Amino acid sequence: MHVDSLKKELKERKYRMTPQREQVLKVFIETNSEHLGAEEVYRYLLSKRINVSKATVYRTVDLLVELGFLRKLQFDEGVYRYELVDKDNKHSHFICNSCGKIYELKDELSPDKILKDYTDLLRAQGFEVNEFDVKFRGMCPKCSKKTRKDK
């Protein structure tokens, strides 16, 4: 689905669908929301023996953000990370301070549900909310359990 949408979007904007662009998008589809950085995408492609330059990967990731296929995220580690955009599945993130793992918070913890009062207030005051980014930091259940065992 994503690849066909990308082909259509590229054609409408007068870009070509190159094998490299398709491969970069497929990395995000295959890794299923691992919040990869461009460098990690490049290494992933090399590990699959796909010949592509690092500059091409970085440019392609930027283009996919511009076209709305990827969302650019910053988790305060000095590296931008990316995830596939899924307009129907909004979520926030929890970052474990111990192991560094990034968890997606969905369903009852989705930002739409927990921030509804805030967005309603903003809209009532004339603001147009298009997107918001919520990040929680702390310790994941696995690291919390390990810390309790070590004490």
d(Cα 16, Cα 47) in Å, to the nearest integer?
25
Burial of 73 (0-12, 13-18, 19+ CB in 10 A): middle
Residue 20, annotated as binding a ligand: no
d(Cα 85, Cα 29) in Å, to the nearest integer?
11
- Taking alpha carbons only, the member of 83, 67, 85 closest to residue 75 is 83
Residue 78, annotated as binding a ligand: no
> How do the residues of the chain divide into helix, strand and coil, expressed in percent and rounded to 5?
50, 15, 35
Residue 50, annotated as binding a ligand: no
- Taking alpha carbons only, the member of 55, 1, 9 closest to residue 26 is 1
92-96/80-84 β-pairing: unpaired
Residue 143, annotated as binding a ligand: yes
Annotated binding site for Zn(2+): 96, 99, 140, 143
Annotated binding site: 96, 99, 140, 143
